[in-house]
């Protein structure tokens, strides 16, 4: 199954710094099973992902946060932009 968030590049505002990060993997539990479940509506999507920042730091984010960031940086035609 194709996961639309894997390999996505997302901008996130942290401590007044706009940081580009990349979604690198689904977060998994101790048994190796993916954490969370998908939903058609991104607000109800509970999947967890690992995101990598340019400095190599890896953080966990939920799919609804990633979707919010992605939707905020594209227009209706799919052109990407970032507001500083």
pLDDT digits (tens, 9 = 90+) for 42-75: 889 999 999 999 889 999 999 988 888 887 777 7
What are the tokens at 25? 């993997």
HSE-CB of 48 using CA atoms within 13 angstroms: 10
Domain residue spans of the chain? 9-72
The model carries a pTM of 0.77
pLDDT at 59: 92
Distances (CA, A) of 40 to 9, 44, 63, 77: 21, 8, 12, 21
What distance in Å separates the CA atoms of residue 67 and residue 40, rounded to the nearest whole number? 12
**Do 44 and 36 meet the contact criterion of CB atoms below 8 Å apart?**
no
């Amino acid at each position: 199954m194709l996961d639309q968030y894997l390999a996505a590049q997302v901008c996130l505002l942290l401590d007044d710094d706009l940081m580009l990060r990349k979604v690198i993997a689904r977060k998994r539990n101790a048994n190796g099973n993916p954490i969370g479940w998908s939903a058609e509506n991104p607000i109800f999507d509970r999947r967890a992902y690992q995101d990598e920042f340019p400095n190599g730091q890896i953080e966990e984010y939920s799919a609804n946060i990633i979707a919010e960031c992605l939707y905020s940086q594209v227009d209706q035609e799919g052109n990407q932009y970032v507001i500083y």
